[in-house]
A and B are shown apart, each in its own frame.
Chain A
Amino acid sequence: MAFEILIKGMVCERCVSVIKEGITNLGYDVAKVSLGKVSINSDLDKDGLKQIAYFLSENGFELASNRYLRTVSQVKELINEVFSENLKYDSKLKFSTLLSDRLHMNYDSISELFTKMEGITLEQYIITKRLEKVKELLVYTEFTLTEIAYITGFGSLNHLSRQFKELTGFSPSHFKSIRTEKKKVAGQAANL
């Protein structure tokens, strides 16, 4: 995947050669450098971008607000919004449609970018967020597991249980009993 990085403070040919040399030394395949912009042919993740930002500030440049990072944080915000306190999830919601509508990008590019930057797939991230919500509902509400599966968009109880077990090692009901027990113990401790 090719990336374009916008850089502040570049004003002359010396800036171009300092940038070219520096970014190449960091191990990237630099395709083109112009005043204010570097195009690289290598992969780039969040840590790489941090490293580049550090090199830039050392040399008196600055990373311009980065649209890759901006997109990733917008994606996270939208997903968090859906699973927020007043759950906006409805069974017809499709994350792919939501994200591509709101960010005006096609879903495949969003997903590819997210994976490159974050090191986990977008699907994986959404599942993690979904399961966090399941845990919260399990412990703090009286909803049954079937209801929770429906509310959080798992479709079926079966599906929820399987993914829950895969990610936490527990079955949902076991998780609930452990947590309830823990709350009880904590409550008793507070009473002593």
Chain B
Amino acid sequence: MATLYIKNMVCNRCVMVVRQELERQGLHPRKVSLGEVTIEENELSDDQQNKLDAALINLGFERIDDRKARLIESVKNKVIQMIHHADKVDLRFNWSSVLSEELHYEYNYLSNLFSGVEGITLEQYIIRQKIEKVKELLFYDELNLSEIADRLGYSSVAHLSTQFKKVTGFTPSEMKKSRDIDQNRKPLDSIS
């Protein structure tokens, strides 16, 4: 059994697409989750690796070997999981303790590693992911702004609006009114 680490996986379709690709190449995935794949095979030949890497890159993914790169990807996976695939972010949610508990590293270490490699701070990355979720919810036109603020753990609509304007240059209502989904939404794996 071997574990592969894959960059840029953000949702269940990514899981599905990666699984399909592995099977298409004759490999036997046992478990596929965001960023991590376990296969029955014990190791891959150079040829298998090259074929797999080429296919993954074609799909917008990338296999990562480097330990630090893997750790950064795990941080991103966790952040995306909490913001985009959980029901609600609690107001008292504490990113530093959750991340350090789940990944078994001091938060300071994670945070320094992240900003050193990614060029933005981990705090800023979390904010941008949250704002991306706000955009998504705005365009669905189902929740009002205070419900969205609540859903993402903002203490007030004012706080959300200020942060939104800082990141996007627009107020939430300006962006909603524009109805311009094409221009305004970003793939989660391109957020940096």
- Given A12-B189, A35-B185, check contact A65 B13 (CB 8 Å): no
Q: How far is the CB of B56 from chain A (nearest CB, A)?
A: 11
Evaluate contact between B11 and A15: CB separation under 8 angstroms.
yes
- Given A12-B10, A14-B11, check contact A64 B141 (CB 8 Å): yes
User: Does B187 interact with chain A (Cβ within 8 Å)?
Assistant: yes
User: Does A60 interact with chain B (Cβ within 8 Å)?
Assistant: yes
Number of residue pairs spanning A and B whose beta carbons lie under 8 angstroms apart: 61
Q: How far is the CB of B79 from chain A (nearest CB, A)?
A: 13
Evaluate contact between A12 and B14: CB separation under 8 angstroms.
yes
A60 to B10, CA, bound (A): 13
Evaluate contact between A18 and B139: CB separation under 8 angstroms.
no
A22 to B59, CA, bound (A): 17
A64 to B189, CA, bound (A): 23
A15 to B190, CA, bound (A): 14
Interface centre among A8, A14, A17, A35 (most CB of B within 10 A): A14
Evaluate contact between B181 and A59: CB separation under 8 angstroms.
no
Q: Residue on B with the closest CB to A59?
A: B13
User: Does B91 interact with chain A (Cβ within 8 Å)?
Assistant: no
User: Does A176 interact with chain B (Cβ within 8 Å)?
Assistant: no
Contact residue among A6, A8, A60 (Cβ-Cβ distance under 8 Å from B13): A60
Q: Residue on B with the closest CB to A34?
A: B182
Q: How far is the CB of A68 from chain B (nearest CB, A)?
A: 14
Evaluate contact between B188 and A12: CB separation under 8 angstroms.
yes
User: Does A36 interact with chain B (Cβ within 8 Å)?
Assistant: yes
User: Does B136 interact with chain A (Cβ within 8 Å)?
Assistant: yes
A59 to B11, CA, bound (A): 11
Q: How far is the CB of A105 from chain B (nearest CB, A)?
A: 15
Contact with A along B107-149 (1 / 0, CB 8 A): 0000000000000000000000000000010011110000000
Q: Residue on A with the closest CB to B8?
A: A12
B contact residues around A9 at 8 Å (CB): 11
User: Does B12 interact with chain A (Cβ within 8 Å)?
Assistant: yes
A160 to B85, CA, bound (A): 58
- Given A6-B139, A18-B17, A65-B142, check contact A12 B11 (CB 8 Å): yes
Q: How far is the CB of B67 from chain A (nearest CB, A)?
A: 25
A101 to B100, CA, bound (A): 58
Q: Residue on A with the closest CB to B12?
A: A60
Evaluate contact between A36 and B181: CB separation under 8 angstroms.
yes
Evaluate contact between A35 and B141: CB separation under 8 angstroms.
no
Taking CB atoms and an 8 Å cut-off, the chain A residues in 39-84 that contact chain B are 59-60, 64-65
Taking CB atoms and an 8 Å cut-off, the chain B residues in 8-37 that contact chain A are 8, 10-14, 16-17
- Given A34-B182, A35-B185, check contact A12 B140 (CB 8 Å): no
- Given A18-B17, A36-B181, A37-B181, check contact A11 B11 (CB 8 Å): yes
Interface centre among B59, B136, B186 (most CB of A within 10 A): B136
User: Does A13 interact with chain B (Cβ within 8 Å)?
Assistant: yes
Taking CB atoms and an 8 Å cut-off, the chain A residues in 1-30 that contact chain B are 6, 8-9, 11-15, 17-18
- Given A14-B59, A35-B181, A36-B185, check contact A8 B16 (CB 8 Å): no
A-B contact pairs, 5 of them (CB 8 A): A35-B136, A35-B187, A36-B136, A36-B185, A64-B141
Chain A positions within 8 Å of B, measured between CB atoms, are: 6, 8-9, 11-15, 17-18, 32, 34-37, 59-60, 64-65
Considering the complex of A and B, which 7 residue pairs feature the smallest CB-CB distances, nearest first?
A35-B185, A12-B187, A34-B182, A14-B13, A60-B12, A11-B188, A37-B181
